[in-house]
């Protein structure tokens, strides 16, 4: 396949071979969120958690959630866009829906049910209904209740549902011209930034607005743009070479680090997170010259944390909060909470996630490796 220079190491996820670099990026995002919450709990989520520069860098790990958004944008959109723009086989949407459900629902429902029983007094029928239907973000009493990181999962599910329509709409509006489609995405992203700036005025703090797809959709755009860029790159194959540092994954990674530091030190330039995620993901999504950054992400132990990152993301905050509220918020205990969260994630993955991840392979269809290089199960394509 044109443009592929270094596929990199792979790691097993319930029988599926996944690119280690993407799993490691998930790990870094999840560990960033975990570190942010443990640091916040250590300071009882007061301003002391982000007073100093070092404090802000740790607390700013919460921006890792937007790395997840960009990853979803790239990995899920790329096969859909290839099909819509005529560069790939069609995506079976029934398989897509079934596999997304098997990936998301079992762990989500297990965590919600356990937390309702253990920490929410059993919950009310209306609360169970809202969480069962992924509608808790629409109600002020449940939007951040039970397990607050779930807000982003609700946004992701809404994104999954709309993504096939977005792919078809972009192809139609752009007449399958990738440059026009990229321009449309940039315009939509800027509109999303404007909408967020307008809706999240200082006097507005309604979490139903803050944690909605409407005000966070532009964080998916970096991944969507990179998916289109990769399609264009693959069309041109080896004829495309970026000159000098532009063609180096390490240069992209260094630029990403600078962008992250700037955003985290400021906190008031949050939309620039999209620049940081674009550079971070671009360093591994595009077939650039690999370097130390790619080698770090190929490290198997880090990639294995990425494999269990969904469990880590959903379980960590209840555990961190429990230790902080009932035992101690001391730094050693919070470091212990970090370690315990990672251990729990591996257990949760093995007991809850892995059986369903194996089950979803029943619907997987064989495809050429080029069609599924970076795609999660559920995006295997079929001949048109």
Residues 72 and 64: their CA atoms lie apart, in Å, by 13
Task: Write down the pLDDT at residue 383.
Answer: 30
Residue 253 has pLDDT above 90, yes or no: yes
The answer on pLDDT for 295 being more than 90 is yes
Domain count, the chain: 1
Minimum mean pLDDT range among 10-14, 77-81, 143-147, 188-192: 10-14
- Report the alpha-carbon distance of residue 284 to residue 256 in Å, rounded: 12
Instruction: Please answer whether residues 219 and 277 qualify as being in contact, where contact means their C-beta atoms are separated by less than 8 angstroms.
Output: yes
Q: What is the pLDDT of residue 203?
A: 63
Inter-residue contact 230 to 73 (CB < 8 Å): no
CB neighbour list of residue 368: distance below 8 Å, 6 or more residues apart: none
pLDDT confidence of residue 377? 34
| 374 vs 76: CA distance, rounded Å | 9
Q: What is the mean pLDDT of residues 49-66?
A: 94
Res 356 pLDDT > 60: yes
3-state SS, the chain, equals CCCCCCCCCEEEECCEEEEHHHHHHHHHHHHHHHHHHHHHHHCCCCHHHHCCHHHHHHHHHHHHHHHHHHHHHHHHHHHHHHHHCCCCCEECHHHHHHHHHHHHHHHHHHHHHHHHHHHCCCCCHHHHHHHHCCCHHHCCCCCCCCCCCHHHHHHHHHHHHHHHHHHHHHHHHHCCCHHHHHHHHHHHHHHHHHHHHHHCCCCCCCHHHHCCHHHHHHHHHHHHHHHHHHHHHHHHHHHCCCCHHHHEHHHHHHHHHHHHHHHHHHCCCHHHHHHHHHHHHHHHHCCCECCHHHHHHCCHHHHHHHHCHHHHHHHHHHHHHHHHHHCCCCHHHHHHHHHHHHHHHHHHHHHHHHHHHHHHHHHCCCCCHHHCCCCCCCCCEECC
More confident residue, 304 or 17: 304
Average pLDDT estimate for 300-312: 97
Q: What is the pLDDT of residue 373?
A: 42
Q: Say how far residue 318 (Cα) sits from the centre of its chain.
A: 20
- Residue 272 lies in domain: 10-382
Predicted confidence (pLDDT) at residue 2 exceeds the cutoff of 70: no
Would you tell me how many other CB atoms lie within 10 Å of the CB of residue 108? 21
**Structure confidence at residue 359 (pLDDT):** 82
- Among the ranges 6-20, 84-98, 139-153, 353-367, which has the highest mean pLDDT value? 139-153
Evaluate whether residue 333 is within a structural domain: yes
pLDDT at position 227 is: 97
In a domain, 1, yes or no: no
Is the per-residue pLDDT at 161 higher than 90?
Answer: yes
Decide: 354 and 14 in contact? Cβ < 8 Å.
yes
Q: What is the pLDDT of residue 6?
A: 57
241 pLDDT higher than 60: yes
Residue 2 lies in a domain: no
The CA-CA-CA angle for residues 10, 13, 16, to 5°, reads: 75
Section 309-336 average pLDDT: 97
What pLDDT, on the 0 to 100 scale, is given for residue 31? 98
Which residues sit opposite 266 in a β-bridge? none
Residue 197: inside a domain: yes
Specify if 67 maps to a domain.
yes
Distances (CA, A) of 176 to 87, 171, 184, 329: 10, 5, 12, 55
Cβ-based neighbours of 66, under 8 Å, separated by 6 or more = 219, 273, 274, 277
Mean pLDDT (the chain, rounded): 90
- Residues 260-279 have pLDDT tens digits of 999 999 888 999 999 999 99
Tokens of 231: 């399609």
Confidence band for 367, pLDDT divided at 50, 70 and 90:
very low
Query: Is residue 37 pLDDT above 70, yes or no?
Result: yes
Q: Of all residues in the chain, what percent carry a pLDDT higher than 70? A: 91
In the chain, how long is the greatest CA-to-CA distance?
A: 62
- The tens digit of pLDDT for each residue in 92-147 reads 898 899 989 999 999 999 999 999 999 888 999 999 999 999 999 999 999 999 99
Residue with the bigger pLDDT between 349 and 14: it is 349
Of the candidates 73, 106, 116, the residue with the CA atom closest to the CA atom of residue 274: 73
């Amino acid at each position: 396949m044109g443009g592929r220079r270094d596929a990199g190491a792979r790691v097993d996820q319930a029988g599926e071979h996944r690119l280690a670099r993407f799993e490691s990026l998930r790990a870094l995002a999840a560990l960033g969120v975990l570190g942010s919450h443990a640091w916040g709990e250590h300071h009882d989520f007061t301003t002391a958690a982000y007073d100093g520069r070092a404090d802000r860098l740790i607390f700013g790990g919460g921006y890792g959630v937007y790395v997840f958004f960009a990853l979803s944008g790239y990995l899920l959109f790329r096969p859909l866009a290839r099909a819509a723009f005529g560069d790939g086989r069609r995506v079976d949407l029934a398989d897509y829906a079934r596999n997304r459900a098997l990936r998301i629902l079992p762990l989500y429902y297990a965590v919600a049910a356990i937390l309702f029983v253990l920490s929410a007094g059993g919950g009310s029928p209306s609360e169970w209904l809202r969480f069962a239907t992924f509608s808790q973000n629409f109600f002020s009493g449940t939007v951040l209740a039970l397990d607050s990181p779930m807000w982003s999962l609700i946004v992701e599910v809404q994104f999954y549902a709309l993504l096939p329509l977005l792919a078809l709409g972009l192809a139609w509006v752009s007449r399958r011209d990738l440059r026009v489609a990229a321009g449309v995405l940039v315009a939509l992203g800027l509109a999303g930034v404007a909408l967020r700036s307008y809706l999240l005025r200082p006097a507005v703090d309604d979490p139903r607005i803050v944690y909605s797809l409407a005000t966070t959709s532009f964080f998916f755009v970096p991944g969507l743009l990179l998916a289109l860029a990769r399609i264009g790159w693959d069309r041109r194959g080896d004829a495309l070479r970026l000159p000098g540092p532009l063609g180096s994954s390490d240069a992209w990674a260094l630029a990403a680090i600078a962008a992250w530091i700037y955003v985290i030190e400021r906190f008031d330039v949050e939309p620039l997170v999209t620049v940081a995620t674009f550079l971070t993901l671009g360093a591994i999504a595009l077939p650039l010259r690999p370097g130390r950054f790619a080698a770090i992400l190929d490290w198997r132990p880090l990639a294995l944390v990425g494999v269990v990152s969904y469990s880590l993301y959903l379980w960590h905050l209840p555990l961190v909060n429990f230790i902080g509220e009932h035992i101690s918020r001391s730094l050693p205990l919070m470091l212990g909470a970090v370690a315990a969260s990672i251990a729990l994630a591996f257990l949760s993955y093995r007991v809850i996630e892995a059986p369903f991840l194996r089950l979803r392979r029943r619907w997987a269809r064989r495809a050429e490796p080029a069609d599924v290089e970076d795609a999660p199960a559920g995006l295997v394509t079929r001949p048109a």
